[in-house]
């Protein structure tokens, strides 16, 4: 499948303009640029007059000469060093010392419940910037990560708007939920299809057990931390991003044409001692190419506009998004509308509060999952339509078996639409006190409703594709998830020591509800309004149900660094899950430890010229999986007409045990060990991160069928 798209990016600033006009005579500025560390000269440094195209470079001895206005500002830039801006101020000689860039080492990465300098991370954490995600012509942020992170596998089924399957260092469990945990601005989610990729600031993927263990209860399959864009101080800025293009099937399977197909069928008949089915195979010509009949170049378009700005006291970010994607199969379509608003308020110097709220509406027109098999099996000798306008019928050609389908009938009569509405967000308050302490409390919620409505009318298209009554199916699901978290962080640097201590609690409540209803003999409506009440009363069926799960958690983490050489961190999380209440190990505890050695900061490495940065790191940890059925240790029974006993001529309905349940259930645990090396070479131009890991899941939970002969059903 290929994608062709054109990206339009427009940045408009709305601000007050102050224009100062000054007339200044150009002067010649000379100087030399040296390394701030070893004082050696640096050749090929870019020297630019800020705001102009006027520039030069330093020569082999680090010297430069440039003509510039007396009140100009010179910008000195060189790869591997921190850029400097220096006002001229009528000076004719300006010597500059550039500091070696520590951007990669000082880079702040998002980890569980906070941030860390890249140099302090002892686990395996991969970070992708939001700009790298929004550049991709994808409606799903996960799809945009394809090929960007080692150890992460992303599989998409190709349907428009579909949520891809992602695995981090392999599958963490076999039974139950195998999806990873998404944490968006502190709120836990099972998927992030509601997020517009252009709203993302950064993504951090926690790949090893030591970095995942802080999310113990849901971390067995991996964790992805998503930080969305927030307001920044400054005049309002409007940003628009848009793309348009199409997807098409490439390397399409080459199928036999009608003449070739008829010839093969005749040869097959002859080998079985039967008469030829087709008298003159060449008379059928090329026939029907069913792939071309059903496939198309699928148009897709994306639009997103955002407003960002604020003052020192208040910042804001507001965005609207729209996606429209056609499927490669005709009749398939997917549309999404998104809206997001975030505000941050500096109420007092030590107190900051804020919130984020987003809403999503998704509408899709679906296709029959069996259409691809029909396209593959349909004979090219069968026309789409006969001359009289009726559908071509494979039965008229005695092809038999699974070839008795006209795919065009499926496209025309399969009518299923899905609607999804979702609103989510969080609110927080952050208080800094006693200089080194920060307390943060937050509450988040995720509320969604999904409805799938399918209607099959009364029709007769071919001998194998007809109905005797119309059918209306409505499946509706609702989810309501809450999360409340409190954290206290102590952070201090004294002498050569740096320490960060985190302690926190989490409480979650997840509730879901479903109702599946069916009615027959529902008349087709020209205005598209179809209701179960229009069907025959005796044929209506309704099945509903739901589930509720809760959890409470306590966690803590300590990060320690000595001279930026020796790193140590330890994590412990305890989770209590309602799934294990009454018959299992209610509490699960998940420890982790990590250590690192920044070898390049040692004295014996100062004279070497190979490594700009070299770190050896290792970690070990445990994570858990609570993705088991609700109340798995509860014995359930059922009643029915099959369990009847008679006493004194009176029948009594009996009960039957549905299944055998364990008297005690342990948590499924995954243990991971990770050893890695980080290195940078060639003045920080080349970086390498490599490692080995071992991942082992124990006490796995399986659902095993039980023979009815032992008294269950």
Enumerate the domain spans of the chain.
Answer: 2-16+25-101, 450-548
Residue whose C-alpha is closest to residue 123's, from 486, 496, 557, 440:
557
Whether residue 391 has pLDDT greater than 90: yes
Confidence at 294, pLDDT banded by 50, 70, 90: very high
Name the CA dihedral angle for 524, 530, 534, 540, rounded to a multiple of 10 degrees. 110
What is residue 582's predicted lDDT score, i.e. its pLDDT? 65
Whether residue 657 has pLDDT greater than 90: no
Strands 587-598 and 650-657: unpaired
Whether residue 102 has pLDDT greater than 60: no
What average pLDDT does range 86-108 have in this prediction?
A: 79
| Letter string b/e over residues 167-203, b meaning 16 or more CB atoms within 10 A of that residue's CB | bbbeebbeebbbbbbbbbbbbbbbebbbbbbbbbbbb
What average pLDDT does range 370-389 have in this prediction?
A: 90
Residue whose C-alpha is closest to residue 359's, from 445, 451, 264, 237:
445
Whether residue 10 has pLDDT greater than 60: no
What is residue 630's predicted lDDT score, i.e. its pLDDT? 57
Confidence at 640, pLDDT banded by 50, 70, 90: low
Residues 100, 35 contacting (CB under 8 angstroms): yes
Q: DSSP character for 329?
A: B
DSSP-based three-state secondary structure for 133: helix
**679-709: per-residue pLDDT in tens?**
988 877 788 989 899 988 887 776 666 666 6
* Alpha carbons 679 and 689: distance in angstroms, whole number: 6
Q: DSSP character for 81?
A: B
What is residue 9's predicted lDDT score, i.e. its pLDDT? 39
Strands 96-98 and 26-35: parallel
* Alpha carbons 460 and 357: distance in angstroms, whole number: 49
For residue 561, give both structure tokens: 């660094």
What is residue 36's predicted lDDT score, i.e. its pLDDT? 79
More confident residue, 605 or 620: 620
Least confident range from 232-246, 256-270, 278-292, 640-654: namely 640-654
Whether residue 172 has pLDDT greater than 80: no
**204-255: per-residue pLDDT in tens?**
999 988 999 999 888 888 899 999 999 988 889 999 988 899 888 888 888 8
Confidence at 14, pLDDT banded by 50, 70, 90: very low
Q: In the beta sheet, which residues pair with residue 87? A: 73
Residues 598, 614 contacting (CB under 8 angstroms): yes
Confidence at 45, pLDDT banded by 50, 70, 90: confident
Residue whose C-alpha is closest to residue 367's, from 401, 413, 402, 323:
413
CATH number of the structural domain 2-16+25-101: 2.60.40.1120
Confidence at 302, pLDDT banded by 50, 70, 90: very high
What is residue 526's predicted lDDT score, i.e. its pLDDT? 57
* Alpha carbons 367 and 369: distance in angstroms, whole number: 6
Whether residue 676 has pLDDT greater than 50: yes
Q: In the beta sheet, which residues pair with residue 663? A: none
Confidence at 101, pLDDT banded by 50, 70, 90: low
Whether residue 167 has pLDDT greater than 90: no
Least confident range from 130-134, 191-195, 328-332, 348-352: namely 130-134
Q: What is the pTM of this model?
A: 0.79
What is residue 53's predicted lDDT score, i.e. its pLDDT? 78
């Amino acid at each position: 499948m290929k994608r062709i798209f054109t990206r339009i990016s427009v940045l408009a600033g709305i601000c007050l303009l102050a224009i100062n006009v000054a007339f200044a005579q150009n002067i010649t500025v000379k100087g030399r640029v040296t390394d701030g560390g070893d004082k050696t000269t640096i050749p090929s440094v870019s020297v630019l007059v800020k705001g102009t195209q006027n520039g030069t470079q330093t020569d082999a001895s680090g010297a430069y000469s440039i003509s510039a206005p007396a009140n100009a500002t010179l910008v000195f830039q060189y790869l591997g060093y921190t850029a400097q801006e220096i006002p001229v101020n009528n000076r004719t000689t300006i010597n500059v010392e550039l500091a070696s860039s520590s951007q990669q080492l000082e880079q702040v990465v998002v980890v569980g419940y906070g941030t860390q300098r890249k140099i302090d991370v002892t686990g395996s954490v991969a970070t992708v910037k939001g700009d790298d995600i929004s550049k991709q012509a994808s409606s799903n942020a996960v799809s945009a990560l394809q090929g960007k992170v080692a150890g992460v596998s992303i599989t998409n089924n190709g349907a428009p708007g579909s949520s891809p399957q992602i695995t981090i260092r392999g599958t963490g469990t076999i039974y139950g939920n195998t999806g990873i945990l998404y944490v968006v601005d502190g709120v836990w989610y099972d998927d992030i299809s509601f997020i517009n990729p252009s709203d993302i600031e950064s993504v951090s993927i926690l790949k090893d057990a030591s970095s995942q263990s802080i999310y113990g209860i849901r971390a067995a399959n991996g964790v992805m931390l998503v930080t969305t864009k927030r307001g920044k101080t400054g005049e309002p800025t409007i940003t628009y991003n848009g793309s348009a293009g199409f997807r098409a099937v490439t390397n399409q399977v080459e199928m036999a044409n009608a003449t070739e197909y008829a010839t093969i069928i005749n040869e097959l008949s002859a080998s079985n001692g039967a008469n030829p089915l087709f008298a003159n195979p060449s008379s059928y010509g090329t026939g029907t190419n069913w792939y071309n009949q059903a496939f198309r170049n699928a148009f897709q378009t994306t639009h997103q506009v955002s407003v960002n700005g604020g003052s020192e006291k208040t910042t804001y970010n507001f965005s609207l998004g729209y996606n429209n994607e056609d499927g490669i199969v005709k009749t398939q379509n997917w549309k999404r509308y998104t809206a997001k608003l975030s505000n941050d308020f500096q109420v007092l110097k030590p107190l900051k509060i804020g919130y984020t709220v987003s809403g999503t509406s998704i509408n899709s027109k679906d296709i029959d999952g069996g259409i691809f098999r029909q396209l593959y099996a349909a004979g090219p000798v069968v026309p789409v339509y006969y001359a009289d306008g009726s559908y071509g019928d494979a039965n008229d050609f005695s092809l038999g078996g699974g070839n008795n389908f006209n795919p065009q009938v499926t496209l025309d009569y399969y009518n299923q639409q899905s609607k999804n509405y979702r609103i989510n967000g969080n609110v927080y308050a952050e208080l800094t006190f006693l200089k080194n302490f920060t307390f943060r409390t937050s509450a988040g919620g995720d509320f969604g409703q999904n409805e799938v409505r399918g209607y099959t009318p009364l029709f007769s298209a071919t001998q194998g594709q007809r109905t005797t009554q119309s059918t209306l199916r409505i499946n509706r699901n609702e989810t309501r998830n809450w999360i409340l978290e409190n954290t206290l962080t102590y952070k201090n640097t004294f002498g050569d020591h740096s320490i960060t201590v985190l302690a926190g609690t989490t409480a979650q409540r997840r509730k879901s509800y479903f109702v599946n209803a069916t009615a027959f003999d529902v008349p087709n409506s020209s205005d598209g309004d179809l209701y179960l009440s229009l069907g025959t009363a005796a044929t209506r069926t309704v099945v509903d149900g739901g589930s509720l799960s809760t959890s409470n958690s306590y966690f803590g983490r300590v990060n320690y660094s000595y001279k930026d050489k020796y790193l140590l961190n330890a994590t412990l999380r305890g989770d209590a899950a309602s799934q294990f209440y009454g018959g299992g190990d209610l509490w699960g505890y998940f420890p982790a430890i990590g250590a690192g050695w920044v070898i390049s900061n040692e004295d014996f490495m100062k004279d070497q010229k190979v490594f700009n940065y070299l770190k050896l790191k290792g970690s070990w940890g445990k994570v858990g999986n609570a993705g088991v059925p609700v109340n798995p240790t509860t014995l359930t029974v059922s009643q029915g007409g099959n369990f009847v006993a008679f006493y004194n001529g009176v029948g009594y309905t009996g009960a039957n045990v549905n299944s055998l349940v364990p008297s005690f259930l342990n948590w499924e645990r995954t243990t991971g060990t990770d050893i890695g090396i980080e290195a940078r070479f060639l003045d920080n131009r080349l970086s390498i991160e490599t490692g080995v890991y071992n991942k082992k899941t124990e006490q796995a939970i399986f659902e095993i069928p039980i023979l009815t002969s032992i008294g269950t059903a």
